[in-house]
């Protein structure tokens, strides 16, 4: 039970995020109105994604230093969790954009940059799956993962600020903190970030155990044949 406290916390925070995010009173901001509730899902999922990617990069570096496949297991599965949150973040963002900007996809610089960033990570998965040697796949995947993250961060955080963008905090638009004085949003926003991060960690840990179990079975079969 002691080792599972964070899983219980994840379930509790997720339940709180879903209920409070949808039912708690929200500030009636111009244009946004009730759609501001998407902040607790769209933005917080992307925060969780960034945290997952940071963890993946750390384990990619650890693999390159040690050549230990257990670090590669962590890197690939945290990246998988990050990609999942990235896709969900884009989908929820598209729904939000439909109600606030009038279209699911308006060609906004941050929308385009986010899509390009996800495509880079889809390419990472394709590259890994195209390689058959386990250690070669891990080494090339680790190097790609590090450079992909180094390109991803300026792509979604820096470049959209240099041009016109509909997103808050980009292209001269004020960020949420500039005009949001309602603390009720923060009561859900920050717990939601923790909730999605814990969920991503949970999903990654389960996938890592499955990956390692499959590798043990494969090793036993190879040893039995040889």
- Residues 39, 17 contacting (CB under 8 angstroms): no
> Which residue has tokens 């990609």?
83
Q: What is the per-residue DSSP string for 71-117? A: HHHHHHHHHHHHHHHHHHHHHHHHHHHHHHTSSS----HHHHHHHHH
The predicted pLDDT at position 52 comes to: 97
In order, the DSSP letters of 139-207 are HHHHHHHHHHHHHHHIIIIIGGGGS--SSTTSTTPPPHHHH---HHHHHHHHHHHHHHHHHHHHHHHHH
pLDDT at position 159 is 79
Contact 80, 204 (CB under 8 A): yes
- Look at residue 29 in the predicted model and tell me its pLDDT: 63
Domains and CATH numbers, the chain: 2-225 (1.20.120)
Do 146 and 60 meet the contact criterion of CB atoms below 8 Å apart? Answer: yes
CA-to-CA distance for 167 and 95, rounded, in angstroms? 14
Total-model pTM:
0.87
Contact, 184 vs 26, CB < 8 A? yes
Cβ–Cβ under 8 Å, residues 49 and 85? yes
Residues of the chain with pLDDT below 50 are 170-174, 178-181
* Model confidence pLDDT, tens digit, residues 54-113: 999 999 999 999 999 999 999 999 999 999 999 999 999 888 888 877 888 888 888 889
Dihedral over alpha carbons 83, 86, 87, 88 (to 10 degrees): 120
Residue 98: per-residue pLDDT: 84
Contacts for 175 with CB less than 8 Å, ≥ 6 apart: 168, 169
Residues 6+ apart with CB under 8 A from 112: none
């Amino acid at each position: 039970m002691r080792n599972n406290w964070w899983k219980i916390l994840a379930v509790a925070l997720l339940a709180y995020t879903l209920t409070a995010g949808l039912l708690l009173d929200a500030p009636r901001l111009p244009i946004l109105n009730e759609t501001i509730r998407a902040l607790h899902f769209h933005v917080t999922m992307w925060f969780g994604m960034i945290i997952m990617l940071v963890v993946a990069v750390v384990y990619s570096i650890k693999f390159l230093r040690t050549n230990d496949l257990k670090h590669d297991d962590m890197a690939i599965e945290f990246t998988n969790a990050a990609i999942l949150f990235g896709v969900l973040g884009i989908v929820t963002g598209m729904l939000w954009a439909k109600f606030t900007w009038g279209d699911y996809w308006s060609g906004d610089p941050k929308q385009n940059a986010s899509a390009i960033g996800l495509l880079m990570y889809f390419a990472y998965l394709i590259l890994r799956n195209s390689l058959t040697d386990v250690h070669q796949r891990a080494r090339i995947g680790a190097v790609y993962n590090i450079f992909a993250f180094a390109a991803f961060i300026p792509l979604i955080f820096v470049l959209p600020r240099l041009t016109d963008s509909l997103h808050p905090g980009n292209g001269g638009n004020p960020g949420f903190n500039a005009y949001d004085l309602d603390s009720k949003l923060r009561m859900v926003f920050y717990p939601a970030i923790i909730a999605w991060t814990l969920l991503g960690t949970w999903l990654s840990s389960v996938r890592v155990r499955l990956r390692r179990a499959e590798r043990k079975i494969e090793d036993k079969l190879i040893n039995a044949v040889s």
